[in-house]
Structures are given as structure tokens and as C-alpha cells.
Amino acid sequence: MMAPKLSPLKLTFGGIVFLSIVFFSLSSYRVSSVLPINDEIDSSLPDITANCPEYIPRNESELDVEQIQADFPNGYKNPNNWFKTPGQPNSNYLTNLLTDEEAALLPSFKAKAKPKPEYIAKIESLYGIKRAGSWQDHINSLDDDNLAPLTKWAQQYIYDYQHPESCEGKKFYVLVNKWPRHGLGAIIRRTFIELSLAMQTGRILVLDSKNAPGNTLVEKDCDKHRGKTASLECILEDLTSCASYVTSKNSVNAIDMTETKEGGLRDYPALPAMAMMTYLGELGIVPSGTFLRYWWRSQLYGYVLRPNRAALNRISEMRLNKSLHSGVNTNRSSPSEPQNTTVPFPLPPSTLSMHIRHGDKGGEGRLISTRDYIVAAERFLLRNPLKYVKRAFMSTEDPGAIEEARQTPFVNPVRSYGNVDWTWFYSHIPRVDGGPGANLELTHNKTDALLTHIMQLWMAVECDTFIGNRNSNWNKMIDAVRCTLIDKCQAPYIDAGYVGDWINFP
């Protein structure tokens, strides 16, 4: 018996259906292989990284960073034989082509390149120069759109909580120094976490009068003139105005979770969380818990890390001392012989901040090579050639990183930047490739040494772009300060480590 003969129309229709199924299957597979990994994804779903080994670090000791060479599969050359790279411009030749009227316009363009007076005033205010008001006055003068959302409200909220109109009848949490071997970044983080916990129990955080956080970072007599013992408050604004009201009856030395309304502690108090959720909700955004913690802890960094007037005076004095800072213009024709240049105040527009964390960081995280930081910067610059240039302020505890940068005019040889080779700025501070304590011991006065390091932080936030690694507490401080104490939160932040390090913002 012969099989029924199919019509051409049915064959065509069947072929289309079959090919559609095949195409859909292949497309689904391709899409599934690049889906982003969500930390809140249902654990019952299949592991989509199983077929994507490139997303899984093969060796935790190696940094899985995409290299610049990957951007140039054709070896830095356009495959089209008709393409020719323009030559370097010759200013003398071009000037001779101008008319007298055109040449008369050139000085006006030079004036446009200088920082605007209002920008200089903003940086001066950050250093306390010519600023008569408080830190809150400084914050209120900043541009809302370039701060983290609700920063002005959050900073006032924390301040008012710690500085109530009356301290009578208040409860307190007295914080002792549990971290004598920590550096400034880690102690600031530990302190503000305790502050957040205190706020959730309705208590005001007070530093212990005899054994306060930060007392190992400064000289023992650093606060003697104020009748206080050594603590963070030697160099930072007082956390509260209620310290004299503390008694054994109205204070505790440890947080009791049963004091909270929900019988447990979270990463942020209820009101700041709801304030941000309400604000973002009006914009059609539902924030994750990761975002809320990141935002709130950035606000806490900003509140705690406010140098007091005496500290600001010393920091600004050091910043304006030109002999404490150096700059070099690198030269690819002779990398070992960079040319010296000056370090202006403020740092020039489009300067990048690059904090290279080496030292003892290898004991708790990944050490990222100096070259990888530079690679991260150059990959960003390659994508943004009209606004950013190869000029960076470098801060680090590693003197070897400074020396390597001085002799690195480029990693990527393409001449696509506003300036062909790197210009590096850095300060002359004692450095040893070790821990924070070892660096403070390099000078005769730990308090002054600590202020020198805070000056480095302040110079970092003079910059307009940030290269770092949020796996480092110091980089977290730079990241937070730029969004709370200066209005540079819309400026790019490029992580030289894993791009998701901010998610684990501890």
C-alpha cells in the first residue's frame, strides 16, 4: 500500500514548524548561558553556570580580569586596508594656519580649562578651608543629584540621633576597643556597624572613656588638651554630645537583641530603609537588601569619617605643602626617566584616583597587581576617550607600586587618549608593604601619620573617576566619602578586582 502523498504546501508548513522548534531551542540555550546570576534566585532552579566555566574562577589566587588585548583581536589594527590612523597633531604647524583673529581666541580656551571658582570652593570646604560652618552645612551645600540618594536627610538623621536636643533620659551603648590590631578603615567599619545596632535598640553610641576604638592608631596623649583619652575622636568629630550623661544604670557594654521591636538585628534601621524604599518606589524601583545595606553603610561611613577642626587644619596644611607631593610625566621612549611635574590644588579635571591595596591584604583577600589596576583604568579610558585622560593620583602602602607606575607610560600601546602616556601624582609619605600598624610606626608621631593617610583619602576624592577594589576597606571609604561628603557619586567607579565585590560590602 502506497503512503499518502503530501502536498507541497504541507511539506513547506512542516519544514517551517521543524526549523522554528530547532531555532527556538538553540536560542533558549544561548540566552540561558548568559543570564545574570541573582543572589536571590530560587535554589531549586538549575545551576546555569554549569555550562559556563568562564564564569567560575579556576583559581582563587588568580585574578579573573579581562585583559586589554582581548579588546583588540586584530592586533590593534583595523582589518580594512583603507583605514589609516591619523598622525599626531603639530601645534606649531596648525598655529601658522590661523588668522590673527583666530589666534586671538586661544587664550580664552586656556581659561576654560581651569577649574571653576565654585568647584575650587567646594574642594576647599571639604578640607575645611574658609569654611565657618559645620559638616552638615558643607553637605547641604553639595549638589543633590551627584550625592547618593537622600544623603542630606540621612546625614542629618544620624547626627540628630546622636546629638539630641536633650540627653536626659537617654539610654547608651558604650563601645570598647575590640579591635586593637585593626587599621583605620576596619575600625571605622566596625564602629559604624555598632552604631547601626545601637540605633535599632534605641540607644546612643558612646566610645568608652578608658579603652576606646582607635586608641592604638594615635598617640596616647593626642586628646589630652580636651580632657579625653586616646580614641577615634582625637581626629574625628565627636560621635555624640551625650557622653557625659552615661552612667552604669543607663548604659550597656553589649547589645541585647531582645531590645529591638522584632527581637533581632538587621543591617539597617527601619526608618532609613523605608525612607529609601519610599523614595525609590516613587521612581518605580524596588531596591534589594544588598542595595539598602550598601547605601546605609555608605551613609554611616560619611557620618563617622568627619575629621574635626584641628585635624582638618593639619590635613589642609599638608595638602598645600607642595614639597610633600610629586608628579611625573612618563615617556615611552625612555620609561626609566620620567619627567617631574607639579601637583596642583585641586587636582586637575579628569584625574583618576587609583588606590592600590597591597601590604597584608593577602592574608584576607586577593592581592591585585599594580598592572591589573592600570589595565582596568586603561580599558575604561579606551571606551571614554573624549572626557577622560591618562592622569591619576595613586595612593598605596606599597612603595613598589609607586615605582612600577613611574616607569609605566602605558600597557595598551594605542595612542587614543587625550594624553599619550600616563601622568602619575603621589605623595611623599612613609610607606612599607605591610599592615596599617607597620605604616603608622614609620614616623615619630602616629597621630600625624594617621592624618597623612586621611589626607590621601581626601586627595582621592578630589578626583573624577575611581579605580579600586571594594574588597579593601580603604577603597570602601573612598567609595562612600565620594557619595556622602563630596558630590561625586555619579562619577565612574571601576573595580580592578571582581566586579561584584561591592555586593559583599561587609
Instruction: With cut-offs at 50, 70 and 90, classify the pLDDT of residue 442.
Output: low
Which residue is it, cell 574642594? Answer: 123
**Is 140 contained in some domain?**
no
Quick one: 401 exposed, middle or buried, by C-beta within 10 A (0-12, 13-18, 19+)?
A: buried
Do 488 and 388 share a domain, yes or no? yes
Mean pLDDT of the chain: 85
Do 298 and 379 share a domain, yes or no? no
CATH number at residue 481: 3.40.50
**Is 157 contained in some domain?**
yes
For range 187-202, the mean pLDDT: 95
Share of the chain above pLDDT 70, in %: 82
Please tell me whether the peptide bond between 346 and the residue prior to it is cis, using omega within 30 degrees of 0.
yes
**Is 112 contained in some domain?**
no
Of 165, 184, 182, 199, nearest to 236 by C-alpha is 184
Q: Please tell me which residue, 2 or 150, carries the higher pLDDT value.
A: 150
Which residue is it, cell 576596619? Answer: 186
Task: Give the per-residue pLDDT at 416.
Answer: 76
Do 324 and 291 share a domain, yes or no? no
Domain count, the chain: 2
| For residue 224, pLDDT beyond 80 | yes
Do 295 and 193 share a domain, yes or no? yes
Do 320 and 464 share a domain, yes or no? yes
Do 246 and 363 share a domain, yes or no? no
Task: Give the per-residue pLDDT at 265.
Answer: 76
For range 258-276, the mean pLDDT: 87
Do 159 and 285 share a domain, yes or no? yes
> Could you give the angle at the alpha carbon of 253 between the alpha carbons of 248 and 259, nearest 5°?
95
- How far from chain centre, in Å, is Cα 468? 6
Q: Please tell me which residue, 483 or 260, carries the higher pLDDT value.
A: 483
Do 296 and 347 share a domain, yes or no? no
Instruction: With cut-offs at 50, 70 and 90, classify the pLDDT of residue 209.
Output: very high
Residue pLDDT, tens place only, 77-130 = 777 888 877 888 899 999 999 999 999 999 999 999 889 999 999 999 999 999
Do 373 and 477 share a domain, yes or no? yes
Residue ranges making up the domain that contains 232: 147-306
Determine which helix (DSSP H) or strand (DSSP E) holds 186, and give its type and residue range. Answer: helix 184-200
Q: Please tell me which residue, 318 or 414, carries the higher pLDDT value.
A: 318
Give the domain-ending residue among 248, 271, 306: 306
Instruction: With cut-offs at 50, 70 and 90, classify the pLDDT of residue 257.
Output: confident
Q: What is the rounded CA–CA span in Å between residue 454 and residue 447?
A: 11
**Are 195 and 159 within 8 A, CB to CB?**
no
**Is 105 contained in some domain?**
no
Give the domain-ending residue among 281, 306, 331: 306
**Is 418 contained in some domain?**
yes
Residue pLDDT, tens place only, 4-62 = 555 665 556 566 656 555 454 444 333 333 223 233 333 332 332 333 333 333 344 45
Give the domain-ending residue among 278, 306, 334: 306
**Is 52 contained in some domain?**
no
**Are 494 and 465 within 8 A, CB to CB?**
yes
- Cβ density class 295-323: b for 16+ within 10 Å, e for less: bbbbbbbbbbbbbbebbbebbbebbeeee
**Are 388 and 381 within 8 A, CB to CB?**
yes
Do 344 and 417 share a domain, yes or no? yes
Do 377 and 456 share a domain, yes or no? yes
Do 361 and 472 share a domain, yes or no? yes
CB neighbours of residue 346 within 10 Å: 18
Instruction: With cut-offs at 50, 70 and 90, classify the pLDDT of residue 437.
Output: low
**Is 459 contained in some domain?**
yes
**Is 203 contained in some domain?**
yes
Four-CA torsion 401, 403, 328, 464, nearest 10 degrees: 0
| For residue 476, pLDDT beyond 90 | yes
